[in-house]
Amino acid sequence: VVNICTSKAITIKNLAEELKYITHSESIIKYAEARAGDIRMSVGDNQRLREMLSFKPRVTLREGLKYTVASME
């Protein structure tokens, strides 16, 4: 199992704001209290992928999200 990621942290808030920006959405981001068992922070590590395939991310998170959104349209 390998992670395909940038190995950089981003908050759910910032991810939601990026998606709003990319999709030109006027949605309102709603906040709620944390639930029992919620993960406070998680960052993917792509070291194994780098070692196996000399992988290095070539696009930013924003670019990757744009590609993903475009593929769903």
Residue 37's pLDDT is 93
Tens digits of per-residue pLDDT, 39-48? 888 888 888 8
The pTM assigned to this predicted structure is 0.74
Sign of CA dihedral 72, 43, 55, 60: positive
What pLDDT, on a 0 to 100 scale, did the predictor assign at position 70?
A: 94
- Cα 48 from Cα 6, distance rounded (Å): 13
